[in-house]
Amino acid sequence: MQIEVYFSYSFVSPNSTIYKVKDSSYKPTIIETTATTLKDLTKKGWRLSHAIKTSQSAQLESFNFLLVLEKE
Amino acid sequence: MDTIIGWIIIGVVFYFFVKKKKKKLSPEQIEAQNKKAAQEKALREKKAAQEKALREKKAKDDLKKTQELIKIRKEKEKKILLELTNSDERVYFSYSFVSVKSDLYLINSLNNKIIESSKTCAEKLYSQGYKIVDIDKTGKSAQLEAFNFVIRFSKIDKSKLKLSSKNIKKRKKLPPPPPPIP
């Protein structure tokens, strides 16, 4: 089984843009070139297993989410 | 002029007065004084050396004790780590879980501190057959570098999940319902 972790600034639909994050203990950064959508990943066989809301905001435009995707 | 002469006289008188006060010591007395000074110096040196030796001994003992404590702690940690890694259920902590390569650590339940030697990542755990079953964000920060997470991994033995026809129990046939009462 494979795993991927994505981040979204506003995860409100399968078409919301999601990004991979460059891991760094000092300051992790979003990798802009990895922009994709859940819809595309689902087509490639990935399945959303966990979605964690990472910010407190209740505004749709700042629904920050960390997404864990799995693939058999 | 008179004043100057007066001052000179006072100076000469003072000089002689001081000189008179200074007693001249005999050679024996000088020798005894020197001997006493040498003895005092030796005593001081001896005391300083003793104190230094004591300090060094104390530092050595402290170091030994600290090393022993570290050794005991490491052994305990090793034991806990072994117990935790032998389990199919593992709970990891991450200071910043943002990718599959983010560092994950097991937690020492004795002191609620992370076990540095247990450092791993989600990618490695998935390759070992573990799967995330539960994930909780523990910090309130919305900054990527402070995405504190507690993640529960579980190893699922797929062979156990497969149901064989032998294990499936056939349901007993229930007797037919009684006919309706007219």
Q: What is the pLDDT of residues A25-60, one digit of tens each?
A: 788 999 999 999 999 999 999 999 999 999 988 899
Confidence of residue A22 (pLDDT cuts 50, 70, 90): very high
State the smallest CA–CA distance between residue A33 and chain B in angstroms.
Answer: 15
Q: Answer yes or no: is pLDDT of B53 > 70.
A: yes
Give me the residues of A, 1-20, that contact B with CB < 8 A: 1-5, 7, 20
Q: Answer yes or no: is pLDDT of B158 > 80.
A: no
A47-53 and B113-120 strand pairing: unpaired
Q: Any chain A CB within 8 A of the CB of B146? A: no
8 Å CB contact of B137 and A5: no
Q: Which residues of B touch A20 (CB under 8 A)?
A: 99
Instruction: Give CA–CA dist B101/B103, Å, rounded.
Output: 6
8 Å CB contact of B132 and A52: no
Provide the pLDDT for residue B168.
Answer: 59
| Domain extent listing, chain B | 22-86, 89-159
Q: What is the ipTM of this complex?
A: 0.90
Burial class (CB in 10 A: 0-12, 13-18, 19+), B93: buried
- Give the tokens for residue A28: 């992790």
8 Å CB contact of B98 and A28: yes
Q: Any chain B CB within 8 A of the CB of A47? A: no
Instruction: Give CA–CA dist B102/B12, Å, rounded.
Output: 91
- Rounded mean pLDDT, B53-82: 92
CB B122 within 8 Å of CB A3: yes
Closest CA to A39 of A3, A2, A72, A6: A6
DSSP, res B144: G
8 Å CB contact of A54 and B100: no
CA B153 to chain centre: 28
8 Å CB contact of B126 and A3: yes
Q: Answer yes or no: is pLDDT of A17 > 90.
A: yes
State the smallest CA–CA distance between residue B114 and chain A in angstroms.
Answer: 16
Provide the pLDDT for residue B73.
Answer: 85
Give me the residues of B, 147-176, that contact A with CB < 8 A: 147, 149
Provide the pLDDT for residue B163.
Answer: 55
Q: Which residues of A touch B142 (CB under 8 A)?
A: 54-57, 64
State the smallest CA–CA distance between residue A9 and chain B in angstroms.
Answer: 11
